[in-house]
């Protein structure tokens, strides 16, 4: 059996983490190009929504140098001109580790100002995490007995709906996977689709969601593509799509997009988060 020293593997490669506060680490990604590729007019968005981040590894120093730790939830509005790339957000939050603040309110104000500047719209922070979801709303489609052969790129032609049968229901799946376009690492999510309109064929929906499996796209962009494809192919009167991604680097993200006038889903964590 061939053995390898840890220093020869990717695990042994040094990753530089900031040793001082640096808001310049934040890397905003303009939303407009990916939206244009989906046929979305950036000046007339067909949805409302937000990107809700959950941060599990937040720390700073008080004025006497004593470390403080916290968890936090962040809300970035879907109307912001830019999303914030996840690794840059991780590095930015790590840059607070050795920075001194008079109190938690100063930390909150600092983070909100820096993230709002990067996103181009007001970002909110709350020092808390939502409770776990004890009972998932809706019905899972994951147990369907289907044959699947398409794993990318996402194929909206797989979607089917019955225009003669109108329903109001919530369908869920834990089988959504895509890949980070920056690192190539897999991103895993539970997705919830709440709609009113022609009944969506569940087997076709499952095949469609699995067709993201080898797709490289940011979390937020994947949710917007699901929203746009469902609207175009299934013509719901009302639609809400939320994906709750699993944690990576002490962060997870929960993008939500819905038809205007819809109510935001209550913030909850899945058991995978």
pTM over 0.85: yes
pLDDT value of position 14 = 56
At residue 111, what are phi and psi to the nearest 5 degrees?
A: -65, -45
Residue 166: which of 262, 236, 239, 259 has the closest Cα? 236
Coil, strand or helix at 138: coil
pLDDT value of position 129 = 95
pLDDT value of position 15 = 61
Instruction: Tell me which residues are annotated as active site.
Output: 180, 187
Distance in angstroms (rounded) separating the CA atoms of residues 49 and 239: 12
Coil, strand or helix at 56: strand
How deeply is 37 buried, as exposed, middle or buried, from its count of CB atoms within 10 A (0-12, 13-18, 19+)? exposed
Distance in angstroms (rounded) separating the CA atoms of residues 119 and 268: 24
Alpha helices in 193-267 (DSSP H): 202-210, 219-234
Distance in angstroms (rounded) separating the CA atoms of residues 131 and 191: 18
Q: Are 169 and 139 in contact (CB under 8 A)?
A: yes
Q: Are 153 and 217 in contact (CB under 8 A)?
A: no
Distance in angstroms (rounded) separating the CA atoms of residues 40 and 130: 31
pLDDT value of position 137 = 83
**Beta-bridge partner residues of 100:** 61
Express each pLDDT in 235-268 by its tens digit.
Answer: 999 999 999 999 999 999 999 999 999 999 999 9
Segments in the chain below pLDDT 70: 1-15
Residue 55: which of 243, 189, 248, 272 has the closest Cα? 248
């Amino acid at each position: 059996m061939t053995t390898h020293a840890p220093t020869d593997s990717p695990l042994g490669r040094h990753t530089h983490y900031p040793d001082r506060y640096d808001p310049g680490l934040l890397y905003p990604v303009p939303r407009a190009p990916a939206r244009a590729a989906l046929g979305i007019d950036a000046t007339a968005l067909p949805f409302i929504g937000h990107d809700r981040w959950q941060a599990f590894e937040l720390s700073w120093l008080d004025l006497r140098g004593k470390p403080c730790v916290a968890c936090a939830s962040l809300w970035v509005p879907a109307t912001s001109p830019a999303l914030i790339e996840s690794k840059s957000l991780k590095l930015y939050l790590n840059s607070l580790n050795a920075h001194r603040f008079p109190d938690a309110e100063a930390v909150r104000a600092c983070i909100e100002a820096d993230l709002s500047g990067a996103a181009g719209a007001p970002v909110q922070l709350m020092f808390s995490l939502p409770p776990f979801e004890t009972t998932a709303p809706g019905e899972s489609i994951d147990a369907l007995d289907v044959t699947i052969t398409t794993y990318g790129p996402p194929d909206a032609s797989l979607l089917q709906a019955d225009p003669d049968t109108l329903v109001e229901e919530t369908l869920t799946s834990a089988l959504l996977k895509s890949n980070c376009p920056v690192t190539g690492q897999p991103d895993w999510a539970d997705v919830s689709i709440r709609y009113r309109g022609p009944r969506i064929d569940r087997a076709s929906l499952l095949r469609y969601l699995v067709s993201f499996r080898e797709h490289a796209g940011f979390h937020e962009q994947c949710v917007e593509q699901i929203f746009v494809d469902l609207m175009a192919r299934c013509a719901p009167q009302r639609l809400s799509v939320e994906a709750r991604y699993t944690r990576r680097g002490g962060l997870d993200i929960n993008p939500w997009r819905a038809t205007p006038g819809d109510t935001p889903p209550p913030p909850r964590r899945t058991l995978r988060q």
